[in-house]
């Protein structure tokens, strides 16, 4: 088993030899076998142990066991106790969310890139059956993957029995989780009642499952390749780094919509199809992206939660969100997309660079009267994202310049201006 493990790491995770990584250790046989194999492989790692306090003294004894092991073996240890009483999740789901959120924090603080867990082939089979009780696609039928971003599961090539045999042969010590015998949780019910029936019907059922997931993986890879080809043809970037998707492309690829948009958080293909038939301005939102109907296209944009809505601009200029340069002199020129001319006496520093707000008006250069910004945006045929991206340079909140588009006549000077504002 050890030689197979070394070869598995060499072929599939060779980068681990140059890393110091985190290993999730509960104290159970799976994680203790994983630690033993990693030690014998000469790899460098720290241990992370979670105490969910679900089994009172037994949970505390698990933590004490892991602490003694790490101290005896000189392995750095991180421990954390949790409250799993979260209304939004079941106990098991809460434990999973809390555990991985904490792992990510430890990785960040310790400047590590990966966490290894002791999941094995039987765990993957259980996940397959769990997903079958819900609505699932081909990914759900693959069980657990060897690697998912920062999470690595190097024991998926082994069955539970192989792990137990290795632990006994090498006289390893571990802790038994008595809650695994209870059918209170669905996963345990699948493990203790359903899977044994299939193994009784066919003792090779676990190996058959492994071969089946290999076939499904090949099918998934073919689908992925096809989807990437479709995206290269139908998803086009504009100058604002937004993605334009022609509505005709949407209608021609109805059966692929789930795969085309799932990575952006959209899983309902009917909603996407309906959006492609809707009027300009209609939107769909996921946690990470916004999808906008705009004339002949859908526009896909990643949400930017860090973007500021305004900046104070001093005369020495600014480089956020773009470079602004102030130049004094005598200027006789009209404002353009890149420059704006005015008299310095008409303004008060710091100026304000901000986004559009409801009720905004300005006095367009070259026109009489005033105009609402919403009407200006409509006349310019600007999409919702164009409006969100548009910056306004203001003096005491009065709009001086719709940056890169139109000057306000109250401030613009074509002749004998003494200040030039330039963007780059």
Q: What is the C-alpha end-to-end distance of the chain, expressed in Å?
A: 61
What band does 93 get if pLDDT is binned at 50, 70 and 90? Answer: low
User: For the chain, what percent of residues have pLDDT higher than 70?
Assistant: 96
Q: Among candidates 262, 264, 230, which has minimal Cα distance to 246?
A: 230
What band does 298 get if pLDDT is binned at 50, 70 and 90? Answer: very high
Q: Of 96-100, 178-182, 417-421, which one has max mean pLDDT? A: 417-421
**216-302, CATH topology level:** 3.30.465
4-59 per-position pLDDT tens digit: 999 999 999 999 999 999 999 999 999 999 999 999 999 999 999 999 877 778 88
Q: How far apart are CA 269 and CA 92, in angstroms?
A: 30
pLDDT at 336: 87
Residue 412 pLDDT > 60:
yes
Beta-carbon count within 10 A of 68 CB:
10
Residue 89 pLDDT > 60:
no
Q: Which residues contact 422 (CB under 8 A, 6 or more apart)?
A: 324, 325, 326, 327, 338, 339, 340
Strand order across the beta sheet in which 235-237 lies:
235-237, 243-246, 297-302, 289-294, 283-285
Per-residue burial over 305-338, b = 16 or more CB atoms within 10 Å of its CB, e = otherwise: eeeeeebebeeeebeeeeebebeeeebeeebeee
Arithmetic mean of pLDDT, 120-136: 91
Burial of 348 (0-12, 13-18, 19+ CB in 10 A): exposed
Burial of 149 (0-12, 13-18, 19+ CB in 10 A): exposed
Report the range of poorest mean pLDDT among 33-42, 136-145, 292-301: 136-145
What band does 389 get if pLDDT is binned at 50, 70 and 90? Answer: confident
275-290 per-position pLDDT tens digit: 999 988 898 989 899 9
175-197 per-position pLDDT tens digit: 988 788 788 888 899 999 999 99
Report DSSP letters for 199-263, one per residue: HHH-TTHHHHHHHHHHHHHHHHHHHHHHHHHHHHHHEEE-TTSPEEEEHHHHHHTGGGHHHHHGG
Q: Which residues contact 254 (CB under 8 A, 6 or more apart)?
A: 269, 273
C-beta of residue 177 within 8 angstroms of C-beta of residue 92 = no
The pTM of this model reads 0.67
The two beta strands, 406-407 and 398-402, are antiparallel
Q: How far apart are CA 101 and CA 74, in angstroms?
A: 26
Chain position carrying tokens 């030039």: 420
211-258 per-position pLDDT tens digit: 999 999 999 999 999 999 999 999 999 888 899 999 999 999 999 999
Cis peptide before 321 (omega within 30 of 0): yes
Q: Which residues contact 219 (CB under 8 A, 6 or more apart)?
A: 138
What band does 85 get if pLDDT is binned at 50, 70 and 90? Answer: low
Q: Is 357 in a helix, a strand, or coil?
A: coil
Residue 91 pLDDT > 80:
no
Handedness of CA 313, 314, 320, 325 (dihedral sign): positive
What band does 319 get if pLDDT is binned at 50, 70 and 90? Answer: low
What band does 107 get if pLDDT is binned at 50, 70 and 90? Answer: very high
CATH no. for 2-201: 3.40.50.620
Q: How far apart are CA 143 and CA 131, in angstroms?
A: 8
Chain position carrying tokens 């990693």: 38
Which residue would you say has higher pLDDT here, 241 or 71?
Answer: 71
pLDDT at 307: 66
Residue 308 pLDDT > 80:
no
Which sequence spans correspond to the domains of the chain? 2-201, 216-302, 310-423
Per-residue burial over 258-273, b = 16 or more CB atoms within 10 Å of its CB, e = otherwise: ebbbeebebeebeebe
Which residue would you say has higher pLDDT here, 86 or 386?
Answer: 386
Q: How far apart are CA 23 and CA 126, in angstroms?
A: 22
What band does 405 get if pLDDT is binned at 50, 70 and 90? Answer: very high
The two beta strands, 339-342 and 417-423, are antiparallel
Q: Vertex 401, ends 395 and 402: CA angle to 5°?
A: 125
Arithmetic mean of pLDDT, 117-132: 94
Q: Among candidates 60, 153, 55, 149, which has minimal Cα distance to 107?
A: 149
Report the range of poorest mean pLDDT among 73-77, 116-120, 176-180, 222-226: 176-180
Count of residues making up the chain: 424
Q: Among candidates 169, 173, 162, 166, which has minimal Cα distance to 120?
A: 162
Mean of the per-residue pLDDT values for the chain? Answer: 91
What band does 128 get if pLDDT is binned at 50, 70 and 90? Answer: very high
CA 284 from centroid of its chain's CA atoms: 18
């Amino acid at each position: 088993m050890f030689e197979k493990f070394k070869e598995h790491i060499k072929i599939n995770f060779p980068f681990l030899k140059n890393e110091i990584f985190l290993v999730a250790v509960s104290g159970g046989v799976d994680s203790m076998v994983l630690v033993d194999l990693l030690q014998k492989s000469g790899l460098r790692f720290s241990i992370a142990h979670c105490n969910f306090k679900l089994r009172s003294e037994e949970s505390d004894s698990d933590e004490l066991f892991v602490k003694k092991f790490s101290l005896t073996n000189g392995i750095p240890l991180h421990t954390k106790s949790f409250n799993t009483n979260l209304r939004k999740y079941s106990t098991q789901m809460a434990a999973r969310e809390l555990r991985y959120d904490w792992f990510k924090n430890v990785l960040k603080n310790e400047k590590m890139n990966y966490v290894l867990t002791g999941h094995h082939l039987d765990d993957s089979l259980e996940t397959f059956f769990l997903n079958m009780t819900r609505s699932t696609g081909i990914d759900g039928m693959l069980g657990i993957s060897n690697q998912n971003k920062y999470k690595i599961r190097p024991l998926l090539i082994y069955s539970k029995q192989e792990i137990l045999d290795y632990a006994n042969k090498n006289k390893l010590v571990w802790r038994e989780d008595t809650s695994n015998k209870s059918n209170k949780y669905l996963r345990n019910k699948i493990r203790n009642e359903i899977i044994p029936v299939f193994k009784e019907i066919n003792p090779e059922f676990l190996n058959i499952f492994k071969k089946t997931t290999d076939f499904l993986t090949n099918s998934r890879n073919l689908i992925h390749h096809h989807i990437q080809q479709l995206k290269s043809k139908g998803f086009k970037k504009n100058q604002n780094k937004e993605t334009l998707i022609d509505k005709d492309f949407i209608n021609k690829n109805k059966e692929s919509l789930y795969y085309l948009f799932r990575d952006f958080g959209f899983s309902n293909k009917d909603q996407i199809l309906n959006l492609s038939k809707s009027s300009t301005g209609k939107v769909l939102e996921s946690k990470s992206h916004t999808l906008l109907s705009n004339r002949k296209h859908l526009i896909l944009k990643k949400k930017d939660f860090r973007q500021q809505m305004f900046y104070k601009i001093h005369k020495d200029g600014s480089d956020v969100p773009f470079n602004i340069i102030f130049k004094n002199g005598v200027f006789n020129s009209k404002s353009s997309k890149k420059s704006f001319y005015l008299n310095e006496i008409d303004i008060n520093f710091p100026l304000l660079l901000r986004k559009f707000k409801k009720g905004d008006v300005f006095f367009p250069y070259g026109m009489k009267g005033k105009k609402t910004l919403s009407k200006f945006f409509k006349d310019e045929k600007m999409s919702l994202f164009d409006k969100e991206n548009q910056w306004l340079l203001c003096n005491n909140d009065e709009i001086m310049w719709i940056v890169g588009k139109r000057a306000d006549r109250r401030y613009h000077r074509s002749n004998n201006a003494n200040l030039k504002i330039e963007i780059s």
